[in-house]
Amino acid sequence: MSNERAEFSKRLATAMTAQGYEPRPGVLSTQFNVRFNGASVSFTTASRWLNGGGIPEYEKLVALADWLKADPCLLLFGDRAGRGKREVRQVKEDALTYDDERVFDIYRRLPQTQQKAVCEVIMAFAASSSKLTSLAKPGAVTKAKRS
């Protein structure tokens, strides 16, 4: 279980409790499906969200946040972006370049409302990028044309 998924599941459970719901998969799937206009969420998916096994797609994350009266970025990322100081983490990927560091430093100094706007733009790009990736898979174009 990745740390991000575990942290997300804790924040989701806390948000559910704060709104008077028991953080259980049955409650989550039922309450979510009543409010979401897209494809319904199974008990298993809700269980993964609550047990650190998965994170919802962007549209479902936004719907969760609306239902639970939470900020989608805070629900997904927590307050780690707004802490003002860096956490010490081991990074297994390539080191950040100077420009990356500079951009992150600027982001951290932004007011929370502006950090939220930047986060929403990034989430929108990620959502559109994932749609483009799914269209690039073999057979996806023919399925898209039939719809």
Mean pLDDT across the stretch 10-34?
Answer: 95
Examine the pLDDT at 31 and tell me if it is beyond 50: yes
Mean pLDDT across the stretch 99-105?
Answer: 73
Task: Tell me the pLDDT tens digit for each residue of 37-76.
Answer: 989 999 999 999 999 999 999 899 999 999 999 999 889 8
**pTM exceeds cut of 0.75:** no
Question: What's the Cα-to-Cα distance from 84 to each of 44, 77, 106, 133, rounded to whole Å?
Answer: 37, 14, 10, 34
Find out if CATH 1.10.260.40 is the number for domain 3-78. Answer: yes
Mean pLDDT across the stretch 84-109?
Answer: 60
